[in-house]
């Protein structure tokens, strides 16, 4: 829902708001960097490799619980 709200802002404000949002979530686009290959198990138990997602946007969310 928050992303949808960015459409209502002027272009410069939307860019700043998106930058702030990415910073808050510590999201860093890779740019020209290439991530190391790896495979994870999906929620339904099937393996998914990063290579399977080539050419598509992917958000990897890792967290730590203590």
**42 close to 57: Cβ distance less than 8 angstroms:** no
CA distance 5 to 9: 7
Domain of 34, in residue numbers: 2-53
Say if 16 falls within a structural domain.
Answer: yes
Say if 22 falls within a structural domain.
Answer: yes
Say if 65 falls within a structural domain.
Answer: no
pLDDT digits over 7-54, tens only?
454 566 667 777 787 777 777 777 788 878 889 898 899 999 988 888
Number of domains in the chain: 1
Nearest to 59 by CA among 26, 18, 33, 32: 26
How many other CB atoms are found less than 10 A from the CB of residue 56? Answer: 6
Q: DSSP label at 9?
A: S
Is the pTM higher than 0.85?
no
Say if 58 falls within a structural domain.
Answer: no
Q: Is 37 exposed, middle or buried (0-12, 13-18, 19+ CB in 10 A)?
A: exposed
């Amino acid at each position: 829902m928050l992303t949808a709200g960015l459409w209502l802002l002027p272009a410069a404000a939307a860019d700043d708001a998106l930058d702030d949002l990415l910073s808050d979530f510590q999201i860093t686009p890779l740019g020209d960097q290439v991530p190391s290959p790896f495979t994870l198990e999906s929620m339904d138990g099937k393996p998914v490799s990063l290579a399977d997602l080539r050419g598509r946007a992917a958000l990897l969310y890792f967290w730590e619980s203590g």
